[in-house]
Amino acid sequence: MKKFESIKTGEKAQLTHTIRQSDIDQYVELTGDDNKIHVDQQYTSKTAFKKPVVHGMLSASFISTLIGTKLPGDGALWYQQSIKFLMPVRVGDKITVFAKVINKIKRTKTIQLSTEIYNQNNQKVITGTASVKLIEEVQPSAIQKAVKVKNNIALVIGGTGGIGKATCFQLARDGFDVAIHYYKNIESANRLKKNIEKLGNNATVVNADIKEIDQVDRMIQRVLRKLGSISVLVNCATTPIPNIKIADLEWRNMQEQYDVNIKGAFNIIKFVVPIMEENGYGKIINLITQYIEDPKPELAHYITAKSALSGFTKALATELAPKGIQVNLISPGMTDTQLLADIPEKVRLLTAAQAPLRRLASPDDIARVISFLSSEKSDYLTGETIRVNGGQVMI
Amino acid sequence: MEKLIEERMREVISAVFNIPVNEIRTDASSDNIESWDSLKHMNMVSALEEEFLIEFDDKEIFELLNYELIKTIVLEKIEN
């Protein structure tokens, strides 16, 4: 939370959000406001609006997000707001909320903000003024301050997948507080959170489509508010890997893999690296695949994207090492997870039989190596690839 | 049907490697059957082909690496 003294008149903050149909559905479920003008396509087609209009207070609620998370942030008591709805907002609109400090009242530690929302066409849709009181934390003692920046807070991307879940558990057993990222499987994420909390660790669940930088920004802010920092980032994000012959491969198949493996990693690192730089400490672990060194047919899209991630990781490792941030890779062989559901039994049996260790990797096998790379035991490793494949590829 | 085929497969393995049927485990392979060398492997291939009236191609011969794989490949060939 910002201190009252550090806030300057004229200081600004902003956030962006694309309104989705699911936002409307959740708002209706929460508030019960199912006014046809917001939800009934047929009804609105007969009105001057032609299409449903997003609830005004739904759009305005992002003013609350901006005040509560950015300006001034945690502890903000938003006690007054004037508001004027200038234009309708529709599903699919990308709204940007701006707040600017226009006045400070020292006696009451209160700030006044102009609050404006624009759509993607740069049209002002909402305008108003907010009054916010800053509730400051009681200052911790010097000792408490010293332990504030901890090296045991992990963010696991793809935390509900096979390897991701095992990693969250392993890191919790190692003493980490864990932020569990999920994309679609909220139930699994919440169950995992409860189980980690039973171990006595803090855990939080965060959601984002990692391809969307705005969503990643919000996710990281949430992790910071809930857990305070990020010292370890484990990227287990993945997307289905269909076998596709080169003749049938389309650019969208390549793009799909690039989006999750490279754009996703890029978006996350953009926000996590500055946190680690500030702490002078951080460990980033990306997952690639054995198929980079032992390629299989019909997987060009997957292998190409993972190879790009390998290059990206090594470039980061070189640049970030002097800042105390280590970046490493794990290259698993075929691992017994849900991703194997579509792979024929014979292929699985054959892979296991041909592996010198005579079995497929389990998610725990991978998680234990992630645990090593997350710990101080790996402090002199960076830009390294650890192969966890039962001896299938030896270089 | 599958159970019957498995029983016949066990009989073949027992005869080729000269071990009692009840000692053949589901993780049986050259790792734990001492007599399973390259010659015996080819004997097993011929015996399975004869027993089930099937023919393995070159690739499949090298895929018959353990009990589960033999079962999977034999069943696959019979079903096809």
Q: What CATH number did the domain enclosing A301 receive? A: 3.40.50.720
CB contact under 8 A, A353 and B66: yes
Number of Cβ within 10 Å of residue A247's Cβ equals: 5
Distance CA A47, CA A368 (A): 61
A286 and A336 co-located in one domain: yes
pLDDT digits (tens), chain A, 395 positions: 678 888 999 999 999 999 999 999 999 989 999 999 999 988 988 888 889 999 999 999 999 999 999 899 888 899 999 999 999 999 999 999 999 999 988 888 899 999 999 999 999 999 999 999 988 766 554 444 333 346 799 999 999 999 999 999 999 999 999 999 999 999 999 999 999 999 999 999 999 999 999 999 999 999 999 999 999 999 999 998 999 999 999 999 999 999 999 999 999 999 999 999 999 999 999 999 999 999 999 999 999 999 999 999 999 999 999 999 999 999 999 998 877 777 888 888 999 999 999 999 999 999 999 999 999 999 999 999 999 999 999 98
Which among A349, A354, A358 has the least Cβ separation from residue B31? A358
Q: Chain B: nearest CA to A352, how far in angstroms?
A: 10
Q: Which CATH number belongs to the domain containing residue B52 in this structure?
A: 1.10.1200.10
Query: A153 Cβ partners below 8 Å, 6+ apart?
Result: A176, A177, A178, A179, A227, A228, A229, A230, A231, A232
User: What is the nearest CA distance from A343 to chain B, expressed in angstroms?
Assistant: 14
In a domain, A393, yes or no: no
Residues A60, A146 within the same domain: no
> Cβ contacts (< 8 Å) between B73 and chain A: which residues?
346
Distance CA B26, CA A349 (A): 12
Q: CB contact, 8 Å: B66 with chain A?
A: yes
* Contact between residue A90 and residue A51 where contact means Cβ atoms under 8 Å apart: yes
Residue A8, domain CATH: 3.10.129.10
Type of residue numbered A357: L
d(CA A101, CA A275): 25
Q: Are residues A51 and A87 in the same domain?
A: yes
Domain boundary (A134, A152, A172) is at: A134
The CA distance from A224 to A230, in Å, is 7
Task: Look at A354 and B65 and tell me if their CB atoms are within 8 Å.
Answer: yes
Give the number of other Cβ atoms within 10 Å of residue A102's Cβ. Answer: 15
CA distance to partner chain B, nearest, from residue A332 (Å): 23
User: Total structural domains in chain B?
Assistant: 1
Residue B58: give the domain boundaries: 2-79
The answer to whether the CB atoms of B63 and A358 lie below 8 A apart is: no
pLDDT at A145: 39
B78 touching A (Cβ < 8 Å): no
**Pair A109, A203 in one domain:** no
Looking at the structure, tell me whether residues A304 and A327 fall in a common domain: yes
Q: How many CB pairs under 8 A join A and B?
A: 20
- B-chain residues within 8 Å CB-CB of A353? 29, 65-66, 69
Q: How many domains does chain A have?
A: 2
Query: Are residue A211 and residue A321 in the same domain, yes or no?
Result: yes
- Please tell me whether residues A128 and A157 are part of one structural domain: no
Q: Which residues pair with A67 in a beta bridge?
A: none
Nearest to A331 by CA among A370, A296, A284, A382: A370
CA distance A346 to chain B (A): 6
Q: What is the DSSP string of B3-19?
A: HHHHHHHHHHHHHHHT-
φ, ψ of residue A52 to 5 degrees: the values are: -55, 145
List of long-range contacts for A43-51, beta carbons under 8 Å, 24+ apart: A49/A88, A51/A90
Structure tokens at A380: 């002199």
The answer to whether B64 touches B38, Cβ cutoff 8 Å, is no
Position A394 in a domain = no
Q: Residue A227: count other Cβ atoms within 10 Å of its Cβ.
A: 22
Would residue A288 count as lying in a domain? yes
CB contacts of A354 in chain B (<8 Å) are 65
Residues A358 and A384 in one domain: yes
What whole-number distance in Å separates Cα of residue A285 and Cα of residue A382?
Answer: 10
Residues in B touching A345 (Cβ below 8 Å): 72
Q: Which candidate, A200, A212, A236, places its Cα nearest to that of A337?
A: A236
Catalytic residues of A: 302
DSSP string, A37-53: HHH-HHHHHTSTT-S--
ipTM of the complex: 0.75
Estimate the crossing angle of helix A162-173 against helix A363-374, to 10 degrees: 50
Same-domain status, A221 and A72: no
Boundary residue ending a domain (A91, A106, A134): A134
Residue type, A95: I
Per DSSP, the three-state class of A13 is strand
Question: For position A74, what pLDDT does the model report?
Answer: 86
DSSP states along A247-259: GG--HHHHHHHHI
Using the Cβ of B32 and the Cβ atoms of chain A, whether some distance falls under 8 Å is answered with no
Q: Among A102, A117, A134, give the residue marking a domain's end.
A: A134
CA distance A238 to A160: 11
> How many angstroms away from the CA of A348 is the closest CA of chain B?
10
Taking an 8 Å Cβ-Cβ cutoff, which residues of chain A contact chain B?
Answer: 345-346, 349-350, 353-354, 358
Q: Which residue in the set B29, B69, B76 is minimally distant from A350, CB to CB?
A: B69
Q: Rounded to whole angstroms, how far apart are CA atoms A103 and A89?
A: 29
**Residue-wise pLDDT tens digits, B14-47:** 999 999 999 999 999 999 999 999 999 999 999 9
Q: State whether A122 and A166 are in the same domain.
A: no
- Cα torsion angle, A163, A169, A170, A175, sign: positive
Q: Report H helices in A70-149.
A: 142-146
Structural domain for A44, as ranges: 4-134
Query: What residues in A contact B69, CB-CB < 8 Å?
Result: 346, 349-350, 353
